[in-house]
Every structure is written in C-alpha cells, then in structure tokens.
Chain A
Amino acid sequence: MSNKPTTPNLVDPKILFPAAKAAFVKLDPRQLVRNPVIFVTEAMAALVTLFFVLDVATGGGSRLFSGQIAAWLWFTVLFATFAEAVAEGRGKAQADFLRHTKSELSARKLVAPEGRETKEIPATMLKVGDLVLVQAGELIPGDGEVVEGVASVNESAITGESAPVIREAGGDRSAVTGGTEVLSDWVKVRITTAPGSTFVDRMIALIEGAQRQKTPNEIALSILLSGLTLIFLIAVVTLWGLASYSATVLSVTVLSALLVTLIPTTIGGLLSAIGIAGMDRLVRFNVIATSGRAVEAAGDVDTLLLDKTGTITFGNRMASDFLPVPGVTVEELADAALLASLADETPEGRSIVALATGEFGRGASQTGIDAVVPFTAETRLSGVDHRGRRLRKGAVDSVLRFAGLSDSKIPQEFRQAVDKVARTGGTPLAVADGNRLLGVVHLKDVVKPGIKERFSELRAMGIRTVMVTGDNPITAAAIASEAGVDDFLAEATPEDKLAYIRKEQNGGRLIAMCGDGTNDAPALAQADVGVAMQTGTQAAREAANMVDLDSSPTKLIEIVEIGKQLLMTRGSLTTFSIANDVAKYFAIIPALFVTTYPALGVLNIMGLASPQSAILSAVIFNALIIVALIPLALKGVRYRPVGAAALLRGNLLVYGLGGLVLPFAGIKLIDLAVSNLNLV
C-alpha cells in the first residue's frame, strides 16, 4: 500500500481551518433546516440574541447573563456545524487526491475498430461506445472494457495497491478504470461510461458527501429526535403558563436555555458527522460504497455468502499426503511423484515438490531426466522419462489407462486410497512407473489459516457463513466442516446462488456476498450487500453496491464490522444524549423556581452557586460536550464480536450510565469555574 492516502490526523490544521470556516457557512438556516434539532437551537440562539440586544438598548435585564447564554447557544450551533465540516474535510483530502489523478486526461480515439490509427481528443469529449487505444505509459482515459489486447495496469491511483494487475479482453478481467496507467503492452478499450459519471467521478462525489442522502436509519433517528424536540418544546412553552400560576415570571432567555439543554443537541449535532465518518472509514479500508444505505445494511447482515476459492481456501489444491500401494515405500512414492512434478509449473505440481522435499525430506535432483511429458487436456497426466523409467502422475483414470492395467490387476488398497481421498473432499492423483502403480497423492484444498477463527467470531456476532463452490457435495462438505462454515452450496451455478439469496431473504435475513464475474451480477444485485472486486467485470461492478478496491474477498467481514460500528456509534451517542437530560433538569429546575419556592433548593443536589450560574453552566456543558464527542463520532465506537447481549450490556453501562452521571460532574465543574470567574 505504497501511496494509499494516510489517515488524516484529527487535529490536522489542514482540515481544521477550512472546517472552521465551513462551520460558519453552514449556519445558513436554509441548510440547517435539514437538521431540526440544531435548527431549533439556532432559532433559540437568534431569539435570545434579540432579547439581549433589546436589553442592551433599553439598559434593562441582566445583560451579562443573557449575553453569555446567547453566545453559548451560538457556540452550540457552531460546534454542530463544525463537526459536520470536519467529517467532510477528512473526505475532501481523499477526494482531492483522486481528482488529481484524472486531471487533464486525453484520449487516443481509434479511427476504425480495426487497425491502430488514432486521433487525439480530450477525455471529456469521449462518448459511450468509443474505442480508444492505450499504450504503455499512458493513462486510460475513461471507464471501459478491454476489447483487444492484454496489458499490465497500475491501478494504485484508486486502490493504493502498487502491484500491477493484468487486464485482457474477454473473461472477468476486462474492466478498466479511467485514470489508471498502462504499464506494458497495449489495449483497445471500449468506453462504457460517459465522462463525469465514471467510477472515479462517483467516488469523488461520494467521499465529498456532495451526493449524501440521509440513510433509512438516519431518517428514522431524525424523526425520533424531532419528536423529542417537539415534546420538550411543549414542556417548555407550557412551563411558562404553569410558572405564572405559581407567580413566577420566566424570561425568554431561561426558557430558551432550558429548551436547548433538553433537546438532544448532542446526537443532533453529531448525526451527520457520524454518517460521513462511516463512509470515510469504509473508503480508508479501500471499499467504495455507492450509498450510505449499503453501509447500514452491512451492519444488519445475517448471512455471508463466501466463495470457497480465494476466500476460504488458497484457491489451489495442494499435495498433503502420499499414499503408497503395498510393496511400495512412502519414500519411493514421494521420489517418483517428485520427479514427475519437477518440470510441472502448475501450483499442484509445485505443491508436490514442496511436500516431498519439505515434509518428506527427499532431495530434488534435476539430473537424469530424459524427456518431459507436459500436461494436456487430452492425456490429463504429466511426468518425465527418467533414466529409462516412465514416471507419470495425473487423474486416476488417465494414469490407469497409461499403465494399461486391467481392472483385476488394480490393487484393492489403491482403490481404497482413492476412495478415502475423495471422501474427505480431496483430489486423488495416481502415480505410476510404467505399468507399475505406485500409489496416490492426496491433493486437497488448503483452508486459509485463521479463517476458522474468523467464522467463529462471525458466529458470535450472529452471522452465518455460507460457502459457495463449484465442487461436488462431498468435497464441499469436507471443506465446509474443516473451515467451520455453517452451510455450503455445492456445484453452485449463478442461478443457485440467486435462488439461495432469495430463499434467505424470504426468511427475513439480510445477505452479503462478493463476486467478480459477469455471471455473479444478478446475485450481487439481489444481495442486500453486494461487494464487487475492483478487478471484476464492469457488469459486476455496476450490480454491486460496494466495490472493493483491494479485490480481497475476505473484506466482507470488515465491511460488516464497519456497518455495525456506524450504527453503534449512532445508538451510543443517542443514548448518551438522552441520558444527559436528567442532570440538566436537576441543574435548571431548582434554578428556575427557587426564588418562588425556596423549598425547591433541596433539588439543587449539585450545590450550584446561583440560579444564573446553574443555567449558564448547563448551557455551556451542553455546547462543550458536542466538541468533546467529535473524535468519538469520527472514529466510531469500537465493535467487539461478542454477541448482542454483551455488547448491549457494555455500551449501556458506558453511554447510558455514563450519560446519566457525567453531566452531574461536568456541570458542577463548569459552575465552579463560572462562579469563581464571576461570569454572572
């Protein structure tokens, strides 16, 4: 990850200064009205300011008090807009980096589909369907599909991964992204996306938050927060009437202060910052989500559909054991297999060499090889002629045919060994020396180390894992049990995948899957969270709602965690915000009425200095807590895979109980400062 943008520092002045400026721009009520809680706060701030100005003009009232309340109410609004601006600023740094890569591209448009004659035009003039030629050292002018040629491409501009990838016509590796660089050879590319809506363009828009729509859960939470604001508005407005019955006149300043401290300004102010930061975290993980909705859905995922190859296993079958027939020693078999594989450059061949030289300690000597018999699709075996011996290894039936043995001549033990390997999900390779059968090499899919632990972690999170493979059911079952997945889909066609997803969804479960091939596209589109590999086809990338730039299938697990973290952060800060109200009541209620009813002084359990300092302290605490929580909103609450009950207990303790207790201490401390500095 050479030139991947680094995580911006929370106190990076390059982000903070523009954010501070943006915070003021965001005060525009037309913009703020999208956030009802902060909008109400701004309205109260304006109202108190108006009364303060009137006080100053008429020389009445306690100007020092109302002036400070007004100031802190404005600070409350500013802190909220600042939080959003900081979150956006962090994304902007990344967007600038991307924008840099696509500046001033030009294209060499092919005059005719055949031939190499081109004319140069600006990339912005390209139309969908245009054919362009890109040669080594040039940047690909737009998103498209390779129609001819093969080239190595540096995609680090978008993925951060410096190792070049191969792009070729046909198959699942034909998609190229605008702004990436061809390192060798040449390709003809058909442009598939109009300039301005290319992948990089969409990435920039998403990261910058320009296209940010409220996600479903965010909308529901906003409704809750607006409802609470309305309830407290009723409580505060009616309090004026109740107080006047009790011969107490409450000023607009104190009622505004009471309202703002009671409404959930903490979560209201941080809500959009949390959402932006969640998307941003995903980007930092090199995953681009096409919508915030997908990130939320990731937190809800119940079932993960994982491809066996590359995700659960290393993707290549590896030799794991030598099973000789009677009369042949293991060493003899290992040596024969080793010799037969020395010239074999396939992963299977190399794994046999590795097993024989490693675990079985055989020496590999290249001398004495007379001829090499390479693997072909017709013979389905390979080997060498070595000092007159004809050593072959390959598919069991092919080797038997090669050895020319009739059924009766095949040792019973050989058949048993073949069966045993097949039963445990492996692939048996027969080894023969001329017409003499030596034994069986056990090739098996090797499960990635640590993957079983990952799955049990997922199980603790309440997520089922389902392995999808083209293998037969026996092989699939063996690998499934070794890897510890909950279910598997053997001999899976794309239609099977789609049907499985539909079935799970009908049972009320949310499905996540990843894929890269065009035939994955329908399933990717049907899944609630579909992650396409950046190396995948254009069709897969269009169908998915996330693209993994690292093309790592295990990324799904991290994506789920990021989704959960986003929701948890929202929930924790909501709980915290609501729990805060208790202390604020204890600060403000006695302060409002203690002059009328001295007996209510008992409720001043914090022992706040004076009614005015109590109200001011509550307002200051309410404003400062937003700033104090910005880092948490941006970084997110830590997710631990321990199951919902334990998570709830932990978070309820920290944010629920903490939210109850902390403001008592905070308001008391601020009150000490306010009274000692004689601010009121």
Chain B
Amino acid sequence: MSVIGWLQISLLFLAVLVVVKPLGLYMAGVLSGEPNVLSPILGPVERGLYGAAGIDPTREQGWLAYTLSMLAFSIAGFLLLFAILRLQAWMPLNPQGFGNVPPDLAFNTAVSFVTNTNWQNYGGETTLSHFSQMMGLTVQNFVSAATGISIALAVTRSFARSAAPTIGNFWVDLTRSTLYVLLPLAVLVAVAFVAMGLPQTFRASVEATTLEGVKQTIALGPVASQEAIKQLGTNGGGFFNVNAAHPFENPTALSNYLNIFAMLSVSAALLYTFGQLVGNRRQGWAFIAVTYAFLIVGVGIVYWAEAQGNPILSQLGLDPALGNMEGKEVRFGQAMTALYATVTTGLSDGGVNGMHGSFTGLGGLVPMFLIQLGEVLPGGIGSGLYGMIVFAILAVFVAGLMVGRTPELLGKKIEAREMKYAMLAVLILPLSILGFTAISAVMPSAVASVGTAGPHGLSEILYAYTSAGGNNGSAFGGLSGNTLWYNTTLGFAMLLGRFAYAVPVLAIAGSIAAKTRASTSKGTFPTDTPLFAGLLIGIILILGGLQFLPALALGPIVEHFAMLSGQTF
C-alpha cells in the first residue's frame, strides 16, 4: 500500500461527497416534476411522450397498479431485447455480420439487461452487432436504471406522504428519470469519455500491422456512449468482453477515475434525494455514512490483501514488493483496481477493471460479500436506495423496540404487513444465491464448467450466482458460464433478485403510504444519528451477511488461510 494509492482513493470519495448534495437536490427537483433548466428543451418531449402513450401525468397509481405497470414494462422490454438478439442477423448495423444469438444466451442476456444486472455470458465484440448493442442493450441500460429510480421514488414518496392512497405514476417516474437524470448526465459523461480517447464510431474495426508485421483486427464501435450509461445507470455491461480493463473502454487513469465517479455519484446522491424528499436531510446523510463505512473498510481490505501479495509466489522468487498484480492492469495499479472492485460490487454496477477471480482469497471475498449484503452500499441505481430502506425497516424493528415504542421509521409505524414483505425481500438473496450454488455444486455437468480446483472453484460458482442474484453482473472469471444450465439458472437468479425483491418493496410502499405520518418526539427512535448508522451497519452485517458465512468459509475464507499456510489445490 502506498500513500499515493490512499490519496487517490480518498480523493475520489471526497469528490463524490461534494456532488452528492447538488446532484441529490437536482434529482429531488426534477423527479418531483418541478421545472428545471432542461424543461424548455425536454418539457415538450416529455409531454409529447405522455400524449403519444395516452398517459395522464396527473393521475397517480396505487401500489398494485404501479407494480403491474413496472412489470408490464419490464416484460415488454425483455421480449423486445430477446427478439432483437434472436433476429440479429437480419437487423441493420451489423458490419461484422454476426449471426443470431442462441436462445439460452439470448434469454440470459435479455434478462441480464432488463434486470439492470448486465451479467455477460457473451463476448460483446465477438457476438453482438452495433444494432444489438445500441438499440437493444443501451436502451435497457437507460430504462432498467430508470425503472430502479422509479421504484425507489415510489418508496420515497410513501414515507413523505401521510395517509395517501397512491404512490405516484410509474410511467411519469420512468420518463422523468430517463429524460432529466440519465440522458443529460450520459451526454456529459460520454463527451468527457470521447475527450479521454474512448472510440465513438459505427466502424466495426480497423486493420493494423503489428511490429512483427502481422495483420491485426482491432474491434471498434460506439464505445463512449455505452460506457457512459453503463456506469451512470450502474449497469456494468461493457462493450468489450473484458469490460473496463479494455484499453478502449478505459484507456487512462483519468478515465478510470471518471468510471468510478460516474457510477458512485448517482446512487449516493439518490440517498440524499431521499432525505430531501422525506424532509429529513440528515437521514440521507446517515445512509450515505453507512455506505461509506462499508466501502472504505472494503477497499482497505482489498487494497491491503492485494498489496500483501501471495506468499506462495514469493517463495517461488516473485518480488513480494509488487504485491499481487495478477489480473490487474498496470495503468490502474492496485489502489485503483481495489477501489473499482469495491465500488462496483458495493454498487451493483458490475463493470470490472480487473479480474476479481485473480485477487487473493481476501481480496476476492470482499467484492463477493459486498454483493451478498444486498447491494445496498450504496447499491444499484434506485435498487440500492430501496434495499437500504428494507434494512432500515429491519433495523428499527429489531432495535426500535428497545426504546419502548412499537417501531417506526420516519414517523411510519412498522407493523406485521411491512415485516412480512421486508422478510420476503431479504429471503430472496439467500434463496437464489445459496440455492442455485448448492445445486450447481453437486451437479456434475455444472461442476464441469468450473475452471479451478479446490475452494476457488466453489468461489467461482458462488460468485456467479451472487452476482446474478444481487443484480450485480460482474464476473469472477474462470467459470465457463455460457452453457444451457448457467444461462438458464443465472437468468432465473437475476429475475428473482430484481422482481421478487421489487414487488414486496412496492407492497411495503403501498402500505407505508397509507399510514398516517406520526409526529416525532423525544420518545421516538431517532434514525438519523451516528448511533443508528452504527446499528444499521450491524443489522446489514448480521441479517444481510451472516447467512453467507458458511458458504464463504468453504470458498474465499479457506482459500485465504490455505494461502497463508502454503497449501495449494
């Protein structure tokens, strides 16, 4: 570890902290429908869209109608993307002449992008046409992120309102999130990326002659635009197979910085937006503090573990001063790779700039654990916020009783109904992650995909389902995931992780909105204090993480201790 490394890390966290408030306030304004700087240009577009679709933006929906709209929109998005992938060969903008995507891979990919997971069992530059990337994937990069924001917004409203029968209009929320938040930010970031040297072209490739005189084909495409929304929408699906480790996706240390900054700032700012909209900014800061605590400790562990290197390799004569550089890009180094890995998994982004599977045991444990904690640190765009609220509900329920009142969060009583849906939601991750991993671990055909012997092999399977269930999308590496079994089950894990979580959350929103907002007093449980933040950290660790400990013990944990004792597999 170096001072420079830590300086780089701290600078990024500080930079995000600086934009959290202005960006959070901006989103609070535009998402509430207040006029803003973009209204003169985008206002007519917004109204035109409502007119074309026959939406009355003033008519709000109850939670059930909101949920059904959300599901209908997602199903339609899935069908459209599935069709584009299956019919790719006959679509325009296919300079490389790629064939149709096989059904199981198309299912996996369509689910992956609709659920904002962006797990990639395909190699972008070798499988997908420009049309598929731009009209298929990029569209979902926008709208799946906007769907996440919409759900989070509905939940936010439910706390801000008192005795309300409705939680908003899904179509309005979706449109505003896309038009006023994602689109302008994506344009800004894309232009910045172009300036940093990312390609933005419809050309398929360029031919180059290498020093040895060999002809080489270098894949190109509209990279900058996709990269921008990939990070802003915490999608993480790269244009190229190796994602942000590719020199065209992430050419410089500066572009790497912008990558991390873009993905972290929107999700963190949404927590501030929440505080603003419910009328308690300190609540937003308390949530941000929780995510920062996890991220800082996480990046610290990864950075430390990677800087320590592997004693087994040191014994073979490798210079231990370099630490573990396997699977990392030299232009990023350990600090920025550790930061990227931590943020991308804390966030449910899933883009990677290094191979998590090549990290040391501990270094690989942290990203996996961060996803398993429920993708709330600060989590996927929107989904992180509502995941955090589910944990806050659990935290006030468990500990809130200790102040001698029935639990309430922001003046809303937490009762049996909320508990039922919150527990349903938190059941989904262990069910899909541990369930599918355990089945795969005893199924010979699934075990055959594993690339490494010993506990690392189990980590590969566990990470795959963790990433899918948590809607993260990052890959550990090593596992050959493009098989019928993995394409299908990972697809189901992603669907469960997104919708089996979001539906109970919207049900909570409906029930919370209908409650009268109680006034707070000295006797009410304070949820915007450092003490509560500490409690929330404990609840996330114990209720979100503890159930994964046995599985982790058999994977990365034993790998770490085996490495220390010189054992290989």
Contacts and interface: CB of A to CB of B under 8 A. Distances in A.
B405 A299 contact: yes
A1 interface: no
Interface stretch (A60-68, A111-119, A166-174, A637-645): A637-645
B416 A216 contact: yes
Given A246-B458, A462-B521, A648 B403 contact: yes
A584 to B, nearest CB: 10
Most buried by B among A302, A508, A645: A508
Given A224-B423, A227-B427, A296-B406, A645 B531 contact: yes
A234 B430 CA distance: 7
A227 B435 CA distance: 16
A593 B554 contact: yes
Interface in A555-575: 563-565, 567-568, 570-572, 574-575
A235 B401 contact: no
Given A223-B419, A242-B550, A579-B542, A599 B405 contact: no
Contact of A234 (B402, B416, B419, B434): B434
Contacts of B289: none
Given A241-B439, A241-B442, A506-B516, A585 B549 contact: yes
Nearest to A566: B404
B399 A575 contact: yes
A224 B394 contact: yes
Nearest to A570: B401
A599 B423 contact: no
Contacts of B519: 302, 507-509
Contacts of A237: 438
Contacts of A655: 402
B64 interface: no
Interface in B413-443: 414-416, 418-420, 423-424, 426-427, 430-431, 434-435, 437-439, 441-442
Most buried by B among A234, A242, A578, A651: A242
Contacts of B387: none
A198 to B, nearest CB: 32
Nearest to B535: A652
Interface residues of B, number: 68
Given A220-B414, A238-B435, A461-B523, A232 B403 contact: no
Given A461-B523, A508-B517, A509-B518, A647 B403 contact: yes
Given A223-B420, A245-B447, A639-B404, A571 B438 contact: no
A677 to B, nearest CB: 29
A567 B404 contact: yes
B230 to A, nearest CB: 32
A600 interface: yes
A602 interface: yes
Nearest to A578: B542
Given A216-B416, A217-B406, A238 B561 contact: no
A462 B522 contact: yes
Contacts of A460: 522
Interface string B501-545: 000000000000000111101111110010100010010001100
A601 B107 CA distance: 43
Contact of B403 (A258, A464, A603, A644): A644
Contacts of A599: 558, 561-562, 564-565, 567
A643 B416 contact: no
B313 interface: no
A24 interface: no
Interface in A189-222: 216-217, 219-221
B531 A649 contact: yes
Main secondary structure of the interface of A (DSSP, over half): helix
Contact of B415 (A216, A226, A238): A216
A580 to B, nearest CB: 10
A235 B545 CA distance: 11
Contacts of B564: 599
Contacts of B411: 508
B455 A578 contact: no
B353 to A, nearest CB: 30
A674 B554 CA distance: 27
A562 to B, nearest CB: 10
Given A238-B437, A652-B531, A578 B553 contact: no
B296 interface: no
8 contacts: A223-B416, A227-B427, A238-B434, A302-B519, A459-B522, A509-B519, A589-B549, A644-B522
Interchain residue pairs A-B with the least CB separation, the first 7 = A462-B523, A571-B401, A564-B404, A227-B423, A241-B438, A508-B518, A462-B521
Interface of A: 216-217, 219-221, 223-224, 226-228, 230-232, 234-246, 258, 296, 299-300, 302, 459-464, 506-509, 563-565, 567-568, 570-572, 574-575, 578-579, 581-582, 585, 589, 592-593, 597-600, 602-603, 639, 643-645, 647-649, 651-652, 655-656
Given A462-B521, A509-B519, A575-B399, 14 more contacts: A224-B394, A224-B397, A224-B398, A235-B434, A237-B438, A241-B441, A300-B405, A300-B406, A508-B517, A508-B519, A567-B405, A571-B402, A599-B562, A648-B402
Interface of B: 162, 394, 397-406, 411, 414-416, 418-420, 423-424, 426-427, 430-431, 434-435, 437-439, 441-442, 447, 455, 457-458, 462, 516-519, 521-526, 529, 531, 535, 538, 542-543, 546-551, 553-554, 557-558, 561-562, 564-565, 567
